[in-house]
Amino acid sequence: MKKNLVTAIWFTLVTTVIFGILYPLAVTGISQLLFPGRASGQLIERNGKVVGSRLIGQEFTAPGYFHSRPSAAGTGYDPTSSGSNNLGPTNKALIDRVKSDVRKLQAENPGAPIPIDLVTASGSGLDPDISPAAAEFQVPRVARERGMSEAELRALVEKHTQGRQFGFLGEPRVGVLELNLDLDAGHPRE
């Protein structure tokens, strides 16, 4: 019995060191060597200061910015609270929130169909991208607030539109943070 207990303790210690310390350090080291930007969270810097990540959305509420998808992660885009809110399609809280968002968007752009990703959160609640349709829906508001022509703004949106990965995976998407940063750099708010 004593021998089995000692063996179990040693086995636990050895596997903890191997799989809890050495393996994670090795994987992290290799990823830092082969993919340094990705391993560090694809951080975006401006003027030597980190302003965000290409992987995690941020909330933009001012009218001169493109707005992100709604977030269900904690208090909004909280990476420590990633995950769906698990509210079913008949849940009153979800229905009320979506109806409220629809009313706001209808007032912003009357008569235009509202893209679904402007009123629904992604599975993680941290999606940094919106659909090209969601960006197009917001073009009139942002152009008006920035004093730009809609055509000029559409060209900027097109610059930040990424196609399907490998040409067939996923959907086209627009990176909101980088688009808004380019707007600030080239067309400061009036």
- What residue spans define the domains of the chain? 1-40, 42-186
- Beta strand pairing call for 129-130 and 173-175: antiparallel
pLDDT 10s digits, 11-39: 999 999 999 999 999 998 998 888 877 77
The pTM assigned to this predicted structure is: 0.76
Whole-number pLDDT of residue 15: 96
> CA–CA separation, 177 vs 155, rounded Å?
16
Q: Please state, in angstroms and as integers, the Cα–Cα distance from residue 141 to each residue in 108, 150, 180, following that order.
A: 7, 9, 13
